[in-house]
Amino acid sequence: MSIDIFLGQIDGREAALLRDGKRIEDLLIDTDAPRPGSIYRAIADRPVKGQGGMFCKTPDGSVFLKQVKGLSPGQPLLVQVTGYAEEGKAIPVTTRLLFKSRYAIVTPDAPGLNVSRAIRDEARRDELLEIAHEVMDGAEMGLILRSACVDAEDHAIAADIAEMRDVAAQILSDDSRSAELLLEGDGPHAIAWRDWPEGNVIQGEDVLSDPTLLDDVAHALRTEVSLGGGAYAYVEPTRALVAVDVNTGADTSPAAGLKANIALARELPRLLRLRGLAGQVVIDFAPMAKKDRRQLEGALQKALRADSIETNLIGWTPLGHLELSRHRARARLDWRPA
């Protein structure tokens, strides 16, 4: 199937949509919250007793830094936004900065030149390492070359590395002491260019206003999700967690239950990603034999490994529910087609 990438606006906000054939694979809509990847010079404010963390001040509000050691109130430090905050909580940040682009990730705190393990051609790996050594020569920073490098032009890779290297060097050499936004995180269009596969790009303010396309989006975002063969699931966020309920429909046999559960496992990363859902996820699977749990877990773990958002499988509850914990890399999508 053909991959289409739509870059436009939705309700006046920058937006990007990824479609594979008729299937909506991803949707990004900008928000007013600080974007993940944004880098601030923050000012340490007050420690949080018992949690080993500290609140810090930025021009865009309070942020929370975990696992603080040797940091005193009033001290300036560089922090990077790692995700979106839960309602009523401070923005999560880290001091381990990453400078990420389509082909390269510069890692100031992790020296060494590395190539994505997804690139398995040894000759290509050697070529990429040669480019990395040439461009990063003399820079005391690490580098990861991403999987998109495998088919990219060498000059484009070198230019990308050099740009990220220079941006990192400029920010790291800044010695000012006031709170300031130093680098804004990527918006939907930049993320689409950086992380999505290559495809047919359709760009313009009104490209996401097409009624047929919006119908497809509305279908993809429904609470009820078809799993094929009469099976279906509900994906519903609550204040405390995301609840997923799997049903087999008319066929209530254990075989039908296992089939529906595996179908849900394969779809779950996309369903959560599209809706911007994260945090605690609890799945109430259709009835199946306990001996089939390992097969189901294998299908789910395989699907999660292919997803870009970190998700941890926690385990089964006494009631037979499966619990997961998902990083809040996306804002919850409150928008629905009119």
Measured distance CA(186)–CA(184) in Å, rounded: 7
Do 78 and 108 fall into the same domain? no
Tell whether 335 is covered by a domain: no
Cα 237 to the center of its chain, rounded Å? 18
Single-letter residue type at 290: K
Specify whether the CB–CB gap between 128 and 145 falls below 8 A: yes
- For residue 256, the domain's CATH number is 3.40.630
Q: Residue 68's pLDDT is what?
A: 79
Q: Residue 52's pLDDT is what?
A: 77
290 DSSP 8-state letter: G
171 DSSP 8-state letter: H
Quickly state the pLDDT bin for 227 (edges 50, 70, 90): very high
Do 74 and 122 fall into the same domain? no
Do 264 and 314 fall into the same domain? yes
Tell whether 24 is covered by a domain: yes
Tell whether 302 is covered by a domain: yes
Measured distance CA(230)–CA(207) in Å, rounded: 34
Q: Which residues contact 142 (CB under 8 A, 6 or more apart)?
A: 106, 107, 108, 109, 110, 111, 112, 113, 114
Number of folded domains that form the chain: 4
- Tens of pLDDT, residue by residue over 187-196, are 999 999 999 9
112 DSSP 8-state letter: S
The answer, yes or no, to whether residue 199 has pLDDT greater than 90, is: yes
Tell whether 77 is covered by a domain: yes
- For residue 43, the domain's CATH number is 2.40.50.140
- Tens of pLDDT, residue by residue over 1-13, are 689 999 999 989 9
Domain closes at, from 150, 176, 202: 176
Tell whether 123 is covered by a domain: yes
Determine the average pLDDT of the residues in 49-74.
88
Do 120 and 204 fall into the same domain? no
Quickly state the pLDDT bin for 79 (edges 50, 70, 90): very high
Do 205 and 225 fall into the same domain? no
- For residue 130, the domain's CATH number is 3.30.230.10
Do 291 and 227 fall into the same domain? yes
Specify whether the CB–CB gap between 296 and 259 falls below 8 A: no
Structural domain including 76 reads 39-96
Tell whether 331 is covered by a domain: no
Measured distance CA(236)–CA(59) in Å, rounded: 34
The answer, yes or no, to whether residue 51 has pLDDT greater than 80, is: no
Do 8 and 75 fall into the same domain? no
Q: State both tokens at 329.
A: 């890399």
- Tens of pLDDT, residue by residue over 277-326, are 999 999 999 999 999 999 999 999 999 999 999 999 999 999 999 999 99
Do 68 and 126 fall into the same domain? no
Measured distance CA(303)–CA(216) in Å, rounded: 23
Question: What is the pTM assigned to this prediction?
Answer: 0.92
Do 253 and 307 fall into the same domain? yes
Do 316 and 227 fall into the same domain? yes
Cβ count near 277 (within 10 Å): 20
Do 274 and 261 fall into the same domain? yes
Tell whether 285 is covered by a domain: yes
Single-letter residue type at 92: P
Question: In the chain, what percentage of residues exceed pLDDT 90?
Answer: 81
Tell whether 250 is covered by a domain: yes
Computed over every residue of the chain, the mean pLDDT equals 94
Closest CA to 161 of 115, 110, 204, 212: 115
